[in-house]
Amino acid sequence: MSRSRCCIVYRCRRYIGTGAKNGKPMNILNYKGLKKSEPLCRHTSWRIGGPAEYFFQPENNQELKSFLKKLNGEKNITVIGQGSNLLVRDGGLDDVVIALKNKGEIKLINHHTIYADALINCAKFARFASSKNLYGAEFLMGIPGSIGGALAMNAGSFGCEIWQLVKKLKMINDLGQTRWANKDDFDVSYRNVKLKQQEWFLGAEFILEKEQKIKIKELLEIRKKNQPIGSLSCGSVFKNPPNNFAAKLLDECNMKGVSIGGACISDKHANFIINKNNAKAQDVENLISLMREQVYSKFKIKLELEVKIIGKKC
């Protein structure tokens, strides 16, 4: 091989797999804590998902800011929380996946306001609030996600939703710049929040009440009775259609116990898919299609996904 040809091969090799938007190597390749080809099944409650080309889990908001500044928008970013509402396809993602799930900061701002980082998990938030004799967040106790994920999903249960508690939000963009945003800047509805720009939730202030209406223990008992707690799932797969319940419709289609590959519909709750036996994302997607078809053919109702599906098929 001639010297010049050798040189071309070398240059190509350097750029292969660096995956930057402009084809140049990224600034962050040697960043401490950055992992390459991280299997995302390690970061989802379904324990399903192909690899992220790059994966980073900051210890705190400061580390996230520094990382984003260094990355400088050079690569597509996917932010996840605890992965409890995510189906990552088997082919994984070519992005930098940033998982916001760690210790984070939670503090009392005044007699009825709490600030929490997006990193904080929902159960910790509920416990912290009740330890300060503040109430209204008890429903978060059984939601196995982060505050960031709960904000992104407008997570809720037992007639409560997290955005009912929000006062203001701290946002971060892909350059690591932060700003405070008002609640009214967002278009929020049932399990749906529209973000207008390329930014993510970094934290939020929440207003709570002094009066306790429901007890955490009672809510957890109801969950235990009705849901397959302890199985690998993502909670409800579909949103409830207006004036109806997805689980009831699926139950009436006799879907409980139906399985495809390693994925199986729970015997306890027809809107939960369980990873029973090393399910692939494709098994889950096939089961989702079947559930939709059955409900549509019997009731002419189109079920809308609550679970977010990301990544490439194999």
* 102 binding ligand FAD? (CB under 6 A): no
Contact between 150 and ligand FAD per CB under 6 A: yes
Candidate residues 97, 155, 265, 279; the one interacting with ligand FAD per rule CB under 6 A:
155
Amino acid found at 293: E
* Bridge-based pairing state of the strands 308-310 and 86-88: parallel
The residues in 253-292 that bind ligand FAD, with binding defined as CB under 6 A, are none
**Which among 126-134, 209-217, 233-241, 281-289 is the span making contact with ligand FAD, rule CB under 6 A?**
233-241
Spatial CA neighbour of 165 closest among 144, 143, 134? 134
Q: Quick check: 152 binds ligand FAD (CB under 6 A)?
A: yes
Size of the site for ligand FAD (CB under 6 A): 30
Task: For residues 116 and 111, give the distance between their C-alpha atoms in angstroms, rounded to a whole number.
Answer: 15
**Binding of residue 67 to ligand FAD (CB under 6 A):** no
The smaller minimum CB distance to ligand FAD, of residues 210 and 215, is found at 215
Centre a 10 Å sphere on the Cβ of residue 186 and count the other Cβ atoms it contains. Answer: 18
Active site (annotated) includes residue 236: yes
Residue 116, beta-bridge partner list: 106, 204
Residue 11 among the catalytic residues: no
Q: How far is the CB of 99 from ligand FAD (least distance, A)?
A: 7
What's the half-sphere exposure (Cβ side, CA atoms, 13 Å) at 153? 32
203 interacts with ligand FAD by CB under 6 A: no
Token match 């701002």: residue?
109
Nearest in space to 271 (alpha carbons), one of 121, 140, 123, 85: 85
- What track of x and - describes contact with ligand FAD for positions 160 through 199 (by CB under 6 A)? ----------------------------------------
| H helix runs in the chain, sequence order | 3-15, 61-71, 122-131, 147-153, 216-226, 246-252, 281-299
Q: Catalytic residue, from 38, 191, 199, 266: name it.
A: 191
What does the alpha-carbon distance between residue 221 and residue 78 come to, in Å, rounded to a whole number? 35
Catalytic pick among 84, 233, 236, 266: 236
Contact pick of 54, 55, 125, 201 for ligand FAD (by CB under 6 A): 201
Stretch that binds ligand FAD, among 6-14, 137-145, 257-265, 282-290 (CB under 6 A): 137-145
Task: List % helix, strand, coil for the chain (3-state, nearest 5).
Answer: 30, 25, 45
In the list 28, 45, 138, 295, the residue contacting ligand FAD (rule: CB under 6 A) is 45
Is 133 or 177 the residue whose CB approaches ligand FAD more closely? 177
Q: With binding defined as CB under 6 A, does residue 85 bind ligand FAD?
A: yes
Per CB under 6 A, which region of 5-13, 69-77, 143-151, 253-261 contacts ligand FAD?
Answer: 143-151
Does the footprint of ligand FAD cover residue 146 (CB under 6 A)?
Answer: yes
Of the candidates 253, 82, 221, the one whose C-alpha atom is nearest the C-alpha of residue 155 is 82
Could you say whether residue 104 binds ligand FAD (CB under 6 A)? no
Among 25, 39, 91, 156, binds ligand FAD (CB under 6 A): 156
Q: Is 51 in the site for ligand FAD (CB under 6 A)?
A: no
Q: Which residues contact 285 (CB under 8 A, 6 or more apart)?
A: 87, 89, 309
Query: How many whole angstroms from its chain centre is CA 7?
Result: 44
In the block, residue with structure tokens 């009066």: 211
What single letter denotes the amino acid at residue 294? Q
Q: Quote the CA–CA distance of 234 and 83 in Å, as a whole number.
A: 8
- Which residues are near ligand FAD by CB under 6 A? 45, 79-86, 100, 118, 142-146, 148-150, 152-153, 155-157, 200-201, 233-235, 308
